[in-house]
Amino acid sequence: MNREISNYYRALTGKELSEELALEALYAAIRNEDIPLIRAYRGNAPTDEDEWEKKKCEDMYPMRFAFREMAHVSVLEALLDIGFTLPSGPDVTPFSGTPEEITTFLMRAKGIGRKEAVSYLLFSSSYYLDVLHKDSYFQIPFRLNPDDVYEPGFISYLNSWIIDFALFLKKEGIERGRQEAFNLGQICRVLVEDDELFEALQVCMSLGIFDEYAKGWMMSRAICHDNEKAFDLLLSRASDDSLCDINSYPRKNMRILEKMFSHEILIPGTDQAFEAFEHFIYRFNSEYDNTEILKRLMHSSYAKRRNDSGNPALLDAAVCNDNFTIDCYPILAPTREDINARNSKGRTVLYYIAKRYPCRIEDLMNAGADPYDVDENGNTVLHIMIAEGKYDVTIDDFKDVAKILPEDILQKRNNEGKTPIDLFAELLTKTNGAE
């Protein structure tokens, strides 16, 4: 609380104030959660939101302002006491007080029973925790963090609040129907994506407030957000039925992927297992020793799989990954037939290496790629490097690759009758013309 601001406006209490100054004092009182100053408000602005809108008041409706500031529930109670009404939205946030305090407030403000108020709080909490976790425009409560920054200190507060909320829900005996499980799952999404919230996840699991549907849903979140601790906890509590429908894959943590195979969440050779493995190839990072993992997870049928373009799917994924080491290509394409497989344009993976990484051509040839292959337009790998390369090809680039390839490839003509030397000469002419 900024006491100087509160003291300034308190000194004006009892004086005749303009409507503008009275509202200014009220907003300051809401932001500083100064309950006595709120109760001292003597302005004449409409207290009903509809009337407020009709008079086109330029300032934000005070109750909405309180919600935006995530003010404590005592502030909302004080605004109700002086006549302001509960707006249609946004809803009361879970950070406005304890679950018990918010439930009591909702019963009074909305005129509803306790069970309905608890369900309302459950829905509202799942929404706000989700949007806040995405670093949305919703503010962090001013009393918790005046700078409005999403930081570990606030995550610790979330951890504590969710534990209290889990205990509250258990006491209230919430029925775990489909919708309730979904809302609880939304709340737990925050838990499974942050290691800092692991304690709250442990408490929620120990209380048994999640059904099998929610456990499977949460495990999917843990997998795709690489939270191995959450994955292990959920795996130890989930039934086989809840594991069958999991089709999420880790982004970076390959230990999770291995565990998915070892626990038969993924079955080697199946479409789902292949899709997971292909995701792995896209994210393979040469900074880490993933070669052994690659060998363990590779299935003999994967080398024959094609993607939508007709390319060998795993080799295509490997070419698109800047971190994938050429030494691992024989793992993905164990035979010459595999490494020289053609897509619908008659191109092999060698052509895509030429377009993106000409320096790897020699390595791929050593792995079994055929340098004499031509595509449907009669283009050799050298034609492709010059005409479709990702980078501007210099004379040195041309010489370096030409030394790697058999000499007679320099004289090979494509369907337009042009040799690689012809294409390179045209490229130089265009470059010099542009200059």
Reduced DSSP (H G I as helix, E B as strand, rest coil) percent helix, strand, coil of the chain, to 5:
60, 0, 40
Asked which of 341, 372, 406 is the last residue of a domain, the reply is: 341
Residues 46 and 128 reside in one and the same domain: no
CA distance to 67, 70, 72, 82, 367, per residue, from 37 (Å): 18, 18, 15, 11, 78
Residues 200 and 142 reside in one and the same domain: yes
Residue 256 lies in a domain: no
Within 10 angstroms of residue 35's Cβ, the number of other Cβ atoms is 15
Residue 58 lies in a domain: yes
State residue 432's pLDDT score: 61
Spatial distance between the Cα atoms of 2 and 248, rounded to a whole number of angstroms: 47
State residue 175's pLDDT score: 66
Residues 320 and 396 reside in one and the same domain: no
Residues 319 and 196 reside in one and the same domain: no
**Long-range contacts of the stretch 152-159 (C-beta < 8 A, 24+):** 152/196, 155/194, 155/196, 155/197, 156/196, 157/95, 158/129, 158/190, 158/197, 158/200, 159/196, 159/197, 159/199, 159/200
Residues 23 and 127 reside in one and the same domain: no
Residue 102 lies in a domain: no
What one-letter code names the amino acid at 148? D
Residue 347 lies in a domain: no
Residues 86 and 180 reside in one and the same domain: no
Spatial distance between the Cα atoms of 390 and 359, rounded to a whole number of angstroms: 12
Residue 383 lies in a domain: yes
Residue 257 lies in a domain: no
State residue 435's pLDDT score: 44
State residue 137's pLDDT score: 47
For 173-232, what is each residue's pLDDT tens digit? 876 666 777 788 778 888 888 888 899 999 988 988 787 778 888 898 899 889 999 999
User: Residue 198 corresponds to which tokens in the numbers above?
Assistant: 């692991």
Spatial distance between the Cα atoms of 363 and 372, rounded to a whole number of angstroms: 15
Residues 145 and 234 reside in one and the same domain: yes
Residues 272 and 185 reside in one and the same domain: no
Spatial distance between the Cα atoms of 9 and 280, rounded to a whole number of angstroms: 61
Residues 297 and 232 reside in one and the same domain: no
Residues spanned by the domain of 174: 107-248
State residue 125's pLDDT score: 85
Low-confidence ranges of the chain (pLDDT < 70): 1-2, 56, 89-91, 132-153, 175-178, 286-289, 390-391, 431-435
Residue 346 lies in a domain: no
State residue 431's pLDDT score: 67
Residues 130 and 234 reside in one and the same domain: yes
User: Does pTM surpass 0.75?
Assistant: no
Residues 210 and 268 reside in one and the same domain: no
Q: Which spans in 94-176 are helix H?
A: 99-110, 114-133, 152-172
CATH number at residue 381: 1.25.40.20
Residues 240 and 370 reside in one and the same domain: no
Number of domains in the chain: 4
Spatial distance between the Cα atoms of 372 and 405, rounded to a whole number of angstroms: 9
Residue 384 lies in a domain: yes
CA distance to 87, 167, 235, 248, 309, per residue, from 114 (Å): 20, 16, 35, 38, 58
Spatial distance between the Cα atoms of 69 and 32, rounded to a whole number of angstroms: 10
